[in-house]
Structure 1
Amino acid sequence: MDESVTGRVLVVDDDATVRDVVRRYLELAGHEVELVGDGERALRRCAEHPPDVVVLDLMLPGVDGLEVCRRLRARGAVPVVMLTALGEEEDRIAGLQLGADDYVTKPFSPRELALRVTSVLRRARAATAPGPELVDGELRLDLGARSARLGARELALTSREFDLLAFFLTHRGTAFSRAELLSRVWGWEFGDQSTVTVHVRRLREKVEPDPARPVRITTVWGVGYRYDGTA
Structure 2
Amino acid sequence: MNKQVKVLVIEDDPYICELIILYAEKSGYKVGIANDGMMGLEMFYENPPDLVILDIMLPEMDDWEVCKEIRKFDQTPTIMLTAKGESYDKLKGFDLGADDYLVKPFDPNELMARIKAVLRRTNPMLDANEIIELPMLKIDLQQYKVTYEKQEIVLPPKEMELLYFLSSHPNQVFTRQQLLEKIWGLDFEGNPRTVDVHIKRIREKLGNSNSYWRVKTIRGVGYKFEVDKH
Report the TM range for the smaller structure's normalisation: 0.5 to 0.7
Distance 1:151 1:75 in 2: 16
1:8 Cα deviation (Å)? 0.5
Conserved? CA contact 1:5–1:121, under 8 Å = no
Partner of 1:13: 11
1:119 aligns with 2:152: no
Report the counterpart of residue 129 of structure 1 in structure 2.
162
Residue 81 of structure 1 corresponds to 79
Other structure's SS at 1:120 match: helix
Deviation, 1:31, is: 0.4
Query: Structure 1 regions of 5+ residues with no counterpart?
Result: 155-169, 171-231
Q: Contact 1:14/1:61 (CA < 8 Å) preserved in 2?
A: yes
1:145 aligned counterpart, secondary structure: helix
In the alignment, which residue of structure 2 is the partner of 1:214?
none
RMSD, aligned α-carbons: 2.7
Does residue 28 of structure 2 align to residue 53 of structure 1?
no
Number of aligned pairs? 149
Question: What 5-or-longer segments of structure 2 have no aligned partner?
Answer: 126-160, 167-172, 193-220, 222-230
C-alpha distance 93-153 of structure 1, shift in aligned 2 (>3 A): farther
Larger Rg: 2
Q: Percent identity?
A: 36
Whole-angstrom CA distance in 2 between matches of 1:120 and 1:109: 17
Query: What is the 5 A alignment of 1:177-188?
Result: none
Partner in structure 1 of residue 178 of structure 2: 141
CA contact (8 A) 1:54 1:78 kept: yes
SS at match of 1:90: helix
Q: Following TM superposition, by how much is the alpha carbon of 1:20 offset from its aligned partner in structure 2, in angstroms? A: 0.6
What residue in structure 1 maps to residue 34 of structure 2? 36
Summarize the Cα distance change of 1:149–1:91 in structure 2 as closer, same or farther, 3 Å threshold: closer
SS of 1:141's partner is: helix
What is the letter of the counterpart of residue 25 of structure 2?
E
Distance (Å, rounded) in 2 between the aligned partners of 1:26 and 1:149? 28
Matching of residues 142-157 of structure 1 within 5 Å: 142=179, 144-145=182-183, 147=185
Check whether the contact 1:11–1:56 (CA below 8 A) recurs between aligned residues: yes
Shift of 1:5: 7.7
Displacement of 1:147 in angstroms is 4.0
CA distance in 1, matches of 2:187, 2:57: 35
Q: Which residue of 2 aligns with 1:26?
A: 24
Residue identity matched to 2:175: L
Residue 95, structure 1, aligned to residue 93, structure 2? yes
Contact 2:123–2:182 (8 Å) recurs in 1: no
